[in-house]
């Protein structure tokens, strides 16, 4: 069983920065590919960044150049550094693990996700 616990959300002004963290627990093989999804009110959850176990990241265009995903395998932790945030980034953010049968890419649908964190709210004003 995999557990994902996010922290670091909150309110931030446009142009500011925020760092999300996710502490993980569970079988290591289930956490080879990890990522961050987000959900706007009334919308389906969508991927924004993924990272392989060896640290290769991928981003969707809307966050590329502003957000940085990273992981510390020794600490079983995943991070999302959010810089130059915009009001359009206001959403609930989820730490996820991606099923091994799917590519490690943020453009995969929610069907690629096998475990979700509880989410952390980010509000940009």
Mean pLDDT of the chain: 94
What is the per-residue burial (b if ≥16 Cβ within 10 Å, else e) of 82-111? beebeeebbbbbbbbbbbeeeebbbebeee
- Mean pLDDT score, 15-43: 91
Q: What confidence tens digit (pLDDT) does each residue in 86-108 have?
A: 999 999 999 999 999 999 999 98
Q: What confidence tens digit (pLDDT) does each residue in 41-74 have?
A: 999 999 999 999 999 999 999 999 999 999 999 9
Task: Return the percentage of the chain with pLDDT > 70, whole number.
Answer: 99
Please report the pLDDT score of residue 27 as a whole number.
Answer: 79
Please report the pLDDT score of residue 108 as a whole number.
Answer: 87
Confidence check: pLDDT of 30 > 80 = no
CA 23 to chain CA mean position, Å = 12
Confidence check: pLDDT of 1 > 90 = no
Nearest to 122 by CA among 95, 96, 72, 87: 87
Give the C-alpha separation, 78 to 63, whole Å. 17
For residue 60, the SS3 value is coil
């Amino acid at each position: 069983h995999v557990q994902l616990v996010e922290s670091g959300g909150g309110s931030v002004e446009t142009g500011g920065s925020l760092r999300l963290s996710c502490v993980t627990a569970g079988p290591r093989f289930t956490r080879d590919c990890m990522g961050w999804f987000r959900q706007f009110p009334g919308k389906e959850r969508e991927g924004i960044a993924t990272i392989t176990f060896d640290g290769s990241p991928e981003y969707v265009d809307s966050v590329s150049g502003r957000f940085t995903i990273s992981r510390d395998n020794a600490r079983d932790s995943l991070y999302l550094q959010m810089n130059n945030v915009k009001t359009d980034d206001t959403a609930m953010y989820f730490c996820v693990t991606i099923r091994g049968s799917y590519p490690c890419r943020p453009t995969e649908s929610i069907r690629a996700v096998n475990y979700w964190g509880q989410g952390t709210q980010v509000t940009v004003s």
